[in-house]
Structure 1
Amino acid sequence: MRLIFAGTPGVVLPALDALAASRHELVAVVSRPDAPAGRGRRLVRSPAAAWADERGIEVLTPQRPREPEFLDRLRELAPDCVPVVAYGALVPPAALEIPKHGWVNLHFSLLPAWRGAAPVQHAVLHGDEVTGASVFQLEEGLDTGPVFGTLTEDIRPTDTSGDLLDRLAVSGAGLLVAVLDAIEAGTVRAEPQPADGVSHAPKITVEDAQVRWTDPSFAVDRRIRACTPAPGAWTTFRGDRIKLGPVRPVANAPQLEPGDLLVERHQVLAGTATTPVALGEVRAAGKKPMAATDWARGLRIDAGERLA
């Protein structure tokens, strides 16, 4: 089939590699426009667009996919199908109708669970033991279309969102190609999603990423892992914001009030509503990440000081 791929961030690269190696013809890539990044705020290509540039594949970067110029070019390219992974914009009916087989989306959850922008982060945050990926027919509703195929993936006790997403990006790429093969062969039919089990996964904000020390230790652990690497879990110390890497709940430790710090020789403990957690990496503003023990040693933390 003639394919146009739609996607933007680095997580789409395994899917692009898999499509390039498949029997299908990749004729163009649709991605979000170049965006300012870094201290200089210079415009930077998305990972998907940069991948296509390196291979001489046409890149389309409409501000909105309903723009007439974009729709006209889509018709000219005449794709049989548009596979989608993390494109980042709502696709209007006028665009959905152009390919013979529509737009087929790889989503990183077992639909109808965790519809929305941050399915992996919400699965980690809520303590799910199993998640997966789904390939479904894109329609106007938010991740509501019928499903062609799924795969499952265990969530490990120490998984961050980044760890889990890396695995799903690779396994999901294989699922996406298998579904496209089956669509071309006419051997697969999309099945409607169940009415039960619907949950939503809105984007995780910076405010969501603030650690709540009054939560039990398992919830503190989950929040930090869910927000790693982005947007990055944070708390404040001495009035300044610091970012935290994953922590380790500690069962046999002195009882501490929520947020209270205890600096020991080989670990730094922070109190929660239940048992303390041992801090991992700490990153102060403008500094490189460092082990919590080095951070505490450099600041000479006094008894009674706390995270907020």
Structure 2
Amino acid sequence: MERPNWAPGDIDLERPSVARVYDYWLGGAHNFAADRAVAQKTLETMPELRGVVLNHRAFLRRAVRYLLAQGVRQFLDLGSGIPTVGNVHEIAQATDPGAKVVYVDIDPVAVAHSRSLLGGNDHVSVLQADVRDWTGVLASDEVDKQLDFDEPVGVLMIALLHFVSDEDDPWGMIGGYRDRLAPGGFLAVSQAGYEADEEPDASKEARRIYDRSVTPMTLRDRAGVTSLFKGFELVEPGVVRVPAWQPESPADVGESGQRFPGYAAVGRKA
């Protein structure tokens, strides 16, 4: 396969990645044949999956706007992925041009494109790192340059934590970021999951394809997502299906929102 001029030289073109499969589902162009094959196969099994991904993206926009309304002007976007329309800095800087953002992702394509997109924006930095290494992320030059942890920071974990297994201790990871936050800081999470015996066969099959080809996923129910917010006070409406978190209109939720395969919430550190 010919390597695109935007692909870093050390990328394995034959191995799908979380960020690039997600980019394909969002309609992006920065993915390889291997990513498209897996993404399309899962869509054939679960056609509604593209809408699921778009709902997580819409939650990101609503959460950032909510945090801006609370006075937050600093954001740490963990597992930020490949840039698409409606990025955190675009939303935040439309309200305050001085708003600061650090994007963190482990995928070198995501990082390369983020840096290219953000060239010249002094209020945004991009870090290539494993978000599970919270000590390394928080000690990085990129975070040190942009974020003042004496002031409120919004930590964003959008469509991220289903890639962090229980064995990898997401509670400890979140606790590491939480302990660095000043009072008034926030955590926003969206996470794939169902209640017990609720997952349809199509979703199970799509997940088997994804787990085998890309990386295993860990689904969590409402109680499991709630457990991630230790040390935070949940804001209204608490942990709900992704489309139901402060929707822009009731029509955005609909009947399908009650069966949506994932949860979202925002918590504030007291």
Per the TM superposition, whether the score is higher than 0.5 is: no
Larger RCO, structures 1/2 (Cα 8 Å, 6+ apart): 2
More helix by share: 2
When the two structures are superposed, what TM-score results if normalisation uses the length of structure 1? 0.33
Larger radius of gyration: 1
When the two structures are superposed, what TM-score results if normalisation uses the length of structure 2? 0.36
More strand by share: 1
